[in-house]
Amino acid sequence: MDIILANFTVTAARKEVVDFANPYMKVALGVVSKNGEVITDLEQLKDKTLIVDKGTTADIFFTKNYPNIKLLKFEQNTETFEALRDGRGDALSNDNTFLFAWVKQNPDYTVGVKSFGEQDVIAPAVRKDAPDLLNWLNTEIEKLSKEGVLKQAYEKTLLPVYGDSVTKSDILVEYK
């Protein structure tokens, strides 16, 4: 492995195995709910049912910080979204980048809470014994950002998926 360039979230556990380059995307938790009953604040979830994937960041966050919110947990994304569409819960929490794309395909729903909890970043990774490669990668990421290449890539690939309800600053890390 020379470079891992994927949807690779920077975590403490992964930092023990690889070195991360400068990030290029942001990701946090979000909440999606049905239009007409849009959840815009986490406090609105008290005494309601929130659907999450078992063992995920959303599951851990709400279990720890909001014990008064009933969690309906599923193993798979397909199950969680099916449960939301079937009305088995009032809202669903997942990575906001995933939710932004999902509501574009499901216009009866809105991401009313775009970002909460700790914001994570997505970054390329290199093996631990490759400082020259890491330095080169960091230089290239900053250069691509400053030259507008990352913005152009966002506009070409992600904007059509996310639509106008998401701005590039919601998810893109920019270097000036």
Residue 38 or residue 57, greater confidence: 38
DSSP assignments along 41-88, one per residue: SGGGGTTSEEEEETTSHHHHHHHHH-TTSEEEEESSHHHHHHHHHTTS
User: Out of 8-12, 95-99, 115-119, 169-173, which region has the weakest mean confidence (pLDDT)?
Assistant: 8-12
d(CA 98, CA 14): 21
Residues sharing a CB contact under 8 Å with residue 62, sequence separation 6 or more, in sequence order: 50, 52, 69, 71, 93
- C-alpha of 128 from chain center: 26
Q: Helix-strand-coil percent breakdown of the chain, rounded to 5?
A: 40, 30, 30
Backbone CA torsion sign across 116, 11, 27, 47: negative
Tokens read off for 36: 């007409």
Say yes or no: do domains 3-24+123-171 and 26-119 share a fold.
Answer: yes
Residue 1 has pLDDT above 90, yes or no: no
Instruction: State pLDDT tens for residues 4-45.
Output: 887 788 888 889 999 999 999 999 999 999 999 999 999 999
What DSSP state is assigned to residue 74? E
Domain 3-24+123-171: give its CATH code: 3.40.190.10
Residue 171: predicted pLDDT: 86
pLDDT grade for 107, boundaries at 50, 70 and 90: very high
Instruction: State pLDDT tens for residues 111-163.
Output: 999 999 988 999 999 999 999 999 999 999 999 999 999 999 999 998 888 88
Domain 26-119: give its CATH code: 3.40.190.10
Give the pTM.
0.80
Name 120's bridge partners: 27
Q: Fill in the amino acid letter for 133.
A: L
d(CA 76, CA 54): 8
Residue 84: predicted pLDDT: 98
134: left (phi over 0), alpha (psi -120 to 50) or beta: alpha
Residue 118: predicted pLDDT: 87
Q: Taking residues 98-122, report their average pLDDT.
A: 93
Residue that the structure tokens 């809470």 belong to: 113
Sketch the domain layout of the chain as residue ranges: 3-24+123-171, 26-119
Residue 12: predicted pLDDT: 85
